[in-house]
Structure 1
Amino acid sequence: MKLVPEELGQSGQELAALLKELRLAAGLTGDRLAKRCNLSQSTISRYETGSARPSLVAVEQILWAVEAPPSIVAQVTALARLANTEWRNVRDLRRKGLGSRQAELKALEVSSGHMRYFLLSMLTGLLATPEYVRASLAHSPADTSKAVAGKLERQQILYDTGKQFTFILTEQAIRFPLTPPPAMAVQLDRLASLTYLPNVHIGVIATGTALPSLPLNTFTIYDNHMATVELSTGSVVFRDPRDVQSYLDQFEGYERVALFENDAREFLATWAHAFRS
């Protein structure tokens, strides 16, 4: 099956109908199929109506239970991957409004316990000063006032000690001169101050550090159930556990070589001093 970005996340109903068709062809009731898959009957029902999105693991269990032929297995597995991967282009985000995007991110942060951010080229709004936030949106053709307010409001969640935040920043992200040097120094001071929060862990990867893999994109992982990957033209959302685990593995590799706590603060202080000079 050819992967077309605009089709990502849109195959859910087709997958649901095909799963139901396979169950009926196998002569199984929803309850019998559920028992074979070690799932509840209500879960099977939600999969078949499209009200819940089955993971690839769940789909493989169902395909095994209905004894699907190899050709059908390949078709349904491809549909399941499409259903668990969503493409969001920049044009749609702008059309909906940057403020609504901030509300969506806030809801994700409220519903997650541990959030991991790998920041390749610039800082995320959760860590940014007001001047940095405004500069990051300066080239947007839309009204950014609500987006700026939303980004700054979202920062309050950092002080919720019931949640864990881990940020891995490359030296490039820290040094990229998005604002004038004095403002960049203030931004780095803010980063250093946030390292003292008990639930916020900020790691820095210095240029020249040997890395376990080559970082290509900024990405965020919400618990172990969703990963979002940023591209210049939009973002890709992964929900399949194996895709999410792949990003968790990458993140843990970068975490092992990053500088934390006093080492990170010393690094940030050095560059803050350089910007002030």
Structure 2
Amino acid sequence: MKIDPQQAGQDRLDLATALKELRRASGLSGERLAVRCGMSQSKVSRIETGRFLPSVVDVQQILRALGVDDPTAADLLSMAQVANAEYEDVRTSVRRGLHHRQRELAALELGARHMRHFLPAMVTGLLQTPDYMRQAMSPAVEPAGGDVSRAVALKLERQCVLHDQSKRFEFLLTESAVRWQLCDASVMAVQIDHLVSVSRFPNVRLSVLPLTRRVTDAPFHTFVTYDNRLVTVELFSGQVVLRDPKDADYYRELFDFFAEHSAGEEDARAILESWADGYRAESMRERD
């Protein structure tokens, strides 16, 4: 699926209008269509007025109930895929204020019960120490502006969610993510020690994927799944949000694939501790 950020919003409106017109052309009432689709009448009404964004599965059910021809159905399903994806570029995020991004993430974490973070490039905010965090939020190439101090404070506040025993967290980090030397060696050692500490939380499973493991696929980008309803994908230029259940299932399966090759529990902690010891030794050499 090719995502056009400018087109997604328009496709939501066009999709609602098209479904309403097809239902009227069929001669079915909204109530009758709801029965055929196994939906509530209020849901059908909200879809047709644009107040509720239907998933691709929802659209498939409606089109099947209306007996829509294959070419028309293909066009509308493609439209539904784009409508269920959002993209925000990093410059827009900075203009809005970096702290807004932290509040949005906090809201996603509050509403989810099971979160899975696949981290091939760097440590995620929920696991970062303050020194690592400040460096991560001050990259070498950055759009002008952005209140980093305020965003850092909110990111640290977000970490309280890790203590909520009603939630489950899975973090899968590649060796590259853990050992990428974003900061001085002493800061890196403390950061890795922190990963070991968080891995002992009863509602957290933290795994690492060493470079010595043979894996038959490549880790292209960071992503996070929130239950089985939403996925966020991180890019250099911004973030993509996917709401289609099929996309959520795909990324959950992808997480499982990489998890099968990773080390967890005590094995992960032993690996992390060895990497932290390496940075401590390097820090001592730098001081000498």
The TM-score with structure 2 as length reference comes to: 0.93
> In 2, are the aligned partners of 1:205 and 1:259 still within 8 Å (CA)?
yes
2:49 is matched with: 49
2:196 is matched with: 192
2:273 is matched with: 269
CA distance in 2, matches of 1:258, 1:160: 25
Q: What amino acid sits opposite 2:149 in the alignment? A: S
CA distance in 2, matches of 1:91, 1:47: 32
> In 2, are the aligned partners of 1:170 and 1:205 still within 8 Å (CA)?
yes
CA distance in 1, matches of 2:192, 2:77: 46
* Structure 2 SS opposite 1:102: helix
1:18 is matched with: 18
Q: What amino acid sits opposite 1:246 in the alignment? A: Y
What is the deviation of 1:60? 0.7
Gaps of 5+ in 2: 282-288
CA distance in 1, matches of 2:87, 2:3: 11
The equivalent position to 1:151 in structure 2, one of 155, 164, 168, is 155
Q: Is 2:116 aligned against 1:116? A: yes
Q: Is 2:249 aligned against 1:241? A: no
The TM-score with structure 1 as length reference comes to: 0.97
CA distance in 1, matches of 2:70, 2:2: 18
Query: Comparing 138-147 with 193-202, which one deviates more in the overlay?
Result: 138-147
What is the deviation of 1:235? 1.3
What is the deviation of 1:169? 0.1
CA distance in 1, matches of 2:200, 2:65: 52
* Structure 2 SS opposite 1:8: helix
Q: What amino acid sits opposite 1:24 in the alignment? A: R
> In 1, are the aligned partners of 2:98 and 2:148 still within 8 Å (CA)?
yes
> In 2, are the aligned partners of 1:212 and 1:253 still within 8 Å (CA)?
no
What is the deviation of 1:247? 0.5
The total of aligned residue pairs comes to 277
Pairs within 5 Å for 1:1-277: 3-139=3-139, 140=142, 141=144, 142-277=146-281
CA distance in 2, matches of 1:44, 1:213: 41
What is the deviation of 1:3? 4.5
* Structure 2 SS opposite 1:11: helix
Query: Comparing 150-159 with 71-80, which one deviates more in the overlay?
Result: 71-80
CA distance in 2, matches of 1:62, 1:160: 39
> In 1, are the aligned partners of 2:209 and 2:261 still within 8 Å (CA)?
yes
What is the deviation of 1:91? 1.2
* Structure 1 SS opposite 2:108: helix
* Structure 1 SS opposite 2:17: helix
Gaps of 5+ in 1: none
CA distance in 1, matches of 2:174, 2:2: 34
Q: What amino acid sits opposite 1:173 in the alignment? A: A
Distance 1:230 1:2, change over 3 A: closer
CA distance in 2, matches of 1:2, 1:218: 18
What is the deviation of 1:95? 0.9
Runs of 4+ in 1 over 6 A off after TM superposition: none
Q: What amino acid sits opposite 1:54 in the alignment? A: P
Q: What amino acid sits opposite 1:44 in the alignment? A: V
CA distance in 1, matches of 2:132, 2:246: 35
1:30-64 deviation digits (Å, cap 9, x = unpaired)? 11000000111011011111111111111011111
* Structure 2 SS opposite 1:196: coil
What is the deviation of 1:213? 2.4
What is the deviation of 1:212? 4.4
